[in-house]
Structure 1
């Protein structure tokens, strides 16, 4: 039976690109997304490529959805890989204008849900000989400058620290947890925003990161990344790897 990967937020955007990349590499895919129709369409594209897929609709913040994801992965013989990709800013307004329930939901989506889903797959991964978890963070969780969505930035910073804190899972469970923190990715919405910018604004900004470059980093981590590693990605530059036990970043 094929190796099985779970990708959350895989109906569109980066999650879809990662799911298709994993399928091309020989993984059966559990496609999870709140947009069930988009998840099913991605699943059909994966099946058309010759790999098995299961589409799971639902919000990863809900325990029932997490359980459906795990059940689907086990039906495909996994999970051997988990990509915690689902995330996003608070709709309409940000902290402090957003009500507590609004910004708390953003923290739940970007930090708590990956923590819970990772915890849920640990024992199944250990039982089948180990696995890999990749958390998709953001450059918004790095640095000290002002940021437009404080709750999103705080959650992504937490996801980065959460990953680095769990380097020991490789020894205790045979599971390597790693993280990718990309800057602006060249997906449809970012490309539209880029097109609206003036020439001066574009010149002052880093170039968009091609989605294929992010997928390549994810695949490299799955193949040979060290547990606890965090990879920063900045448009126009080589990825910067922060590996456990090192004193500084590695390019």
Structure 2
């Protein structure tokens, strides 16, 4: 577990344990960490000792000759020496207290920053990989080409078609999604789903945002995408042959 856990996270768990700042989930994680790696106990002891030393660092005695000089210089004014020593002790205690507070604040800030980072990572949306399909014209529309770009999460697609031949009155172009046999979706006799009745401009072009069937959430179930010519009164009959198609 320790090998797969970032070192920064291990240090923050140890620091939080020493400061008593772990929530129940973090405490359980720390206990598992300690069980898997007894060496963590040494790190806990080291950090705890460092924190305790910030409150009570070891006193350093001055050399003998310097101590004598200090005592001799202060001997004529015992009251002044006592006052200075008391002030020095207060200053040292204050310095130790401030150092300890600073150490605790630094560790607490590190823990809070790490938790904020974890929260931001969890709330960031995962990048969506779009699906792109290219269609080419058959003999009935040999100059036509098309691209369909689908967002499988939102089921929105951008459809772009160029150079479709003009249609006689009462006919429309229809976009179909042909799926694999046995896929759990409602299809027609040609195993297709009517995806969009197209609106084509005078130049034979289409630029539309479309909604695609849920089958696109599993792209492996999409077999082909095709465009046919159908009766405007009943495009769902799917009587026409493809004028554009792609093999996937």
Task: Quickly name the TM-score band, shorter chain normalised.
Answer: under 0.3
**Structure 1 or 2: larger strand share?**
2
Computing the radius of gyration over CA atoms, which structure comes out larger, 1 or 2? 2
TM-score for the superposition, normalised by structure 1? 0.18
